[in-house]
Amino acid sequence: MAGTLTRPRNGKLIAGVCAAIATGFGLPKWLVRLGFIIFGLVGVGELVYIILWIVLPKSDR
């Protein structure tokens, strides 16, 4: 992981949380989004997504 995670201004669907995690860990965006969908069905994904949306800063670029 290179540096801190920041939400990008481009390449995002809702808030950029999945794009930030995918870029930070070198994973495909679709895989991270699929993970949040699966965790959302369990009931944890939405809460984690909202917390990360609040905590992760926006990128300057």
Residue 17 confidence class, pLDDT cut points 50, 70, 90: confident
Range of lowest pLDDT (6-10, 33-37, 38-42, 48-52)? 6-10
Which of 27, 2, 22 has the alpha carbon at shortest distance from 12? 22
- Percent helix, strand, coil in the chain, to 5, is 55, 5, 40
Q: What is the mean pLDDT of the chain?
A: 82
At 19-29, the pLDDT tens digits run 888 888 899 98
